[in-house]
Structure 1
Amino acid sequence: MDPGSTCGRPGRLALVLATLLAAPASALEPYAIAGDAIPAALGGVSGDAARGRAVVLDRTRGNCLICHQVPEPGEPFQGTIGPALAGAGARLDVGQLRLRLVDASLLNPKTVMPPYFRTEGLRDVAPQFRGLPALNAQEIEDVVAYLASLRTP
């Protein structure tokens, strides 16, 4: 038997399985950056604009309204720190929108835009949220779909 094999070695196999099971369930889907964009959807999932709108408007999840204005006249207390999101889909393609959501600091290290899909190098994260992205891959893709649908300034 090969000395590196786990066959016939229950102790080593258990260690390998324990290591795999102990890996964080929140492991982020890998992505590749091309220029100023992430061209491929995170995790290969498709976004839904209606779900993305809900994330953008939800002040406990995306909390986008704290900094941005969206074309939602009935939504009070919209921010002005970041750019207005009306027309975002006409200004940026889906890959550019995706990178800005994933981690805008990759484009501008001094940005105040939070990284919604990064877990490392963050400050002041409550213990129950450490190691978790602010939005998961599906939520990122949903927000990208919503923002891409905003074509009119």
Structure 2
Amino acid sequence: MNYAFGYGIAALMTASVAYAGDVTPQKVAFLDGAVSSSLTGVTGDAANGRKVFANRKQGNCLACHMNADQSEQSFHGEVGPPLDGVGDRWSDAELRGIVANAKMMFDGTIMPAFYVDAGYTRPLKKFEGKSILSAQQVEDVVAYLMTLKEE
């Protein structure tokens, strides 16, 4: 047996199992705006979440929120509440719900739903039927937000 081929098959099967575990945007279970279970079945990566948070083509959270932890970034927004200490104010389930679809927690909010793939018009065809963030990116941002504690 070709061991490289066998390892490749094993890696593919592992990746498929991990992907199969992701909760699709239509299946996210909200309870009072919160999402108690991980969308991926694994804990998010806070370091990657910090990058997604600041990335202008992904989370772009700084467009609306001030965050002292990312003082090296320019142009923090003032539309949304400051996120300093947010990890003390909200649980991971509440933050997951807010990041996935804040409209389920805050009636009338202008915050975009980052894990919704239908029910809105996307300006570019290549984005139709796709969520802004993947399930893993939502988990990563939640893990990062949980690190933002009061001093």
What is the aligned partner in structure 1 of residue 4 from structure 2? none
What is the aligned partner in structure 1 of residue 56 from structure 2? 59
Question: Would you say the 8 A contact 1:105–1:111 is kept in 2?
Answer: yes
Shift of the 36–69 alpha-carbon distance from structure 1 to 2, 3 Å rule, reads same
Q: CA deviation at 1:70?
A: 1.1
Shift of the 107–55 alpha-carbon distance from structure 1 to 2, 3 Å rule, reads same
1:36 aligned to 23, 33, 36, which one? 33
Q: How does 1:17-32 map to 2 (within 5 A)?
A: 28=24, 30-32=27-29
What is the aligned partner in structure 2 of residue 120 from structure 1? 118
Q: How does 1:1-153 map to 2 (within 5 A)?
A: 28=24, 30-71=27-68, 72-152=70-150
Question: Would you say the 8 A contact 2:32–2:104 is kept in 1?
Answer: no
Please, which runs of 5 or more residues in structure 2 have no aligned partner?
1-21
Q: Secondary structure at the match of 2:141?
A: helix
Letter in 1 for 2:94: Q
Provide the C-alpha distance between the structure 1 equivalents of 2:137 and 2:122, rounded to a whole number of angstroms. 23
Task: Give the fraction of aligned pairs with identical amino acids, expressed as a percent.
Answer: 37
Q: CA deviation at 1:34?
A: 2.3
Provide the C-alpha distance between the structure 1 equivalents of 2:122 and 2:132, rounded to a whole number of angstroms. 13
User: Residue deviations 1:16-72, cap 9 Å, x none?
Assistant: xxxxxxxxxx98253322223101000212201000000001111111111011122
Q: Which runs of 4+ in 1 moved over 2 A?
A: none
Provide the C-alpha distance between the structure 2 equivalents of 1:60 and 1:124, rounded to a whole number of angstroms. 14
Provide the C-alpha distance between the structure 1 equivalents of 2:121 and 2:110, rounded to a whole number of angstroms. 13
Normalising by structure 2, we get a TM-score of 0.79
User: Residue deviations 1:64-104, cap 9 Å, x none?
Assistant: 11101112222111000001111110000000000001111
Question: Would you say the 8 A contact 1:116–1:135 is kept in 2?
Answer: yes
Higher helix share: 2
Question: Would you say the 8 A contact 1:31–1:40 is kept in 2?
Answer: no
